[in-house]
Amino acid sequence: MIPIKSITAIELDQKLKQQHKLVLLDVREPSEVNFCKIEGAMHIPMNLIPLYLDKIPDEIDIVIYCHHGVRSLNVANYLAENGFDTDYLYNLTGGIDAWALMVDKNMPRY
């Protein structure tokens, strides 16, 4: 297993407010995204990642998230194993649930 960097919801919020150039990659299922999402995120469900590798930018920070951070960590490892530079890969600790608890307290949780 390749070590993947993690980022907290607070750190991600700071980067977004500073307009840090990054890609938010939401790997949840469509029904989850319909319930709540972080605006501006690219949505590719986890099971479709292998089909869309060429759509994911490289050489830019990629913050991957799911509900609690488990699926997104698996996707980050998959990307690393398929040639993405781990210097640019981040897993959102606690996923969108942590985002709802710490950053967007009005976001619905599930």
Question: Model confidence over 42-60: pLDDT tens digits?
Answer: 999 999 999 999 999 988 9
Which pair of tokens denotes residue 33?
Answer: 């995204």
- Identified catalytic residue from 66, 73, 79, 100: 66
Nearest to 62, CA basis, from 7, 2, 3, 1: 7
Q: Residues in the chain with pLDDT < 50?
A: none
Count of CB atoms within 10 A of residue 56's CB?
18
- Has 66 been annotated as catalytic? yes
Looking at residue 2, its pLDDT comes to: 77
Looking at residue 62, its pLDDT comes to: 98
Looking at residue 29, its pLDDT comes to: 98
Looking at residue 9, its pLDDT comes to: 98
Looking at residue 1, its pLDDT comes to: 66
